[in-house]
A and B are shown apart, each in its own frame.
Chain A
């Protein structure tokens, strides 16, 4: 399967713990995005990378959140000191941006539950 893959698919953690999610984009895609989706809502933009550079972060991305994309390949999203409000589906998407209107390809997401 050459689509976007995310790991783990599900994560249950206790409040206050740190968690890290991984996203492997489609090979050679230069853009990688992270979105957060809460139950019954549409995804909300968190951050995106152009190759290895993180070019934009949403106000939703508090200082407890950090994302990296070393070498412009896979990406990780870490949440420190998790809170119950962090419970959500975290979606990763990638695209090969050569112009406007490029399709983004999504992974199946990581569902985080903070207890």
Chain B
């Protein structure tokens, strides 16, 4: 079974600064997708960014980018120019089998004004 480890239960960053959230995973599959989802307080989970494992180029979505190291099975999320609205729980999730997500335990990100 896939396992996902997010070793930082909580992180905080000053507004406008950069923060990196770490994630490692274990899989026996050769091609798969990796996702970062964001869960703001009392709101639904939304997709932040996705990465296909066979693509070596790291995905980027505006202020969000990933550092994907396939051999190390590492998939970190970098948030640049942090904004107050970025405060949320962040979950790393590889896609296993039939598109079902396997979530890590999450990192709670606090943005300090």
Contact B44 A3 (CB under 8 A): yes
Cβ proximity bits A43-72 to B, threshold 8 Å, 1 near / 0 not: 111001010000110000000000000000
CB distance from B61 to the nearest CB of A (A): 12
Contact with A101, one of B33, B37, B45, B46 (Cβ below 8 angstroms)? B33
Q: Which of A59-115 contact B (CB under 8 A)?
A: 91, 93, 95, 97, 100-104, 106-109
A108 to B47, CA, bound (A): 14
**Chain A residues, CB < 8 A from B44:** 3-4, 106-109
Interface: B74 (CB within 8 A):
no
A50's nearest neighbour on chain B, judged by CB, is B98
- Residues of chain B within 8 A (CB-CB) of A106 are 37, 44-46
Distance in Å: Cβ of B82 to nearest Cβ of chain A: 22
A33 to B100 alpha-carbon distance, docked (Å): 8
Question: Separation in Å of the B8 CB from the closest CB of chain A?
Answer: 13
Cβ of A2 < 8 Å from any Cβ of B?
A: no
Q: Are B50 and A104 in contact (CB under 8 A)?
A: no
* Contact, CB under 8 Å: B45 / A103: no
Determine how close the nearest CB of chain A comes to the CB of B24; give it in whole angstroms.
14
Centre residue among A4, A43, A48, A91 by max chain B CB count within 10 A: A43
| Complex contact B100–A48 (CB within 8 A) | yes
Residue of chain B at shortest CB distance from A55: B98
Q: In the complex, which residues of chain A have a beta carbon less than 8 angstroms from the beta carbon of B105?
A: 40-42
User: Which one of A31, A102, A108 contacts B43 once the chains associate, using CB atoms below 8 Å?
Assistant: A108
Q: Is the CB of A56 within 8 A of B103?
A: no
Q: Please list the 3 inter-chain residue pairs (A to B) with the smallest Cβ-Cβ separation, ordered nearest first.
A: A42-B103, A101-B33, A106-B45
Further contacts, 18 of them, CB under 8 A, given A102-B99, A107-B44, A108-B42:
A4-B44, A33-B100, A41-B106, A42-B103, A42-B104, A43-B45, A43-B91, A45-B100, A48-B99, A50-B98, A56-B97, A100-B33, A101-B50, A101-B52, A106-B37, A106-B44, A106-B46, A108-B43
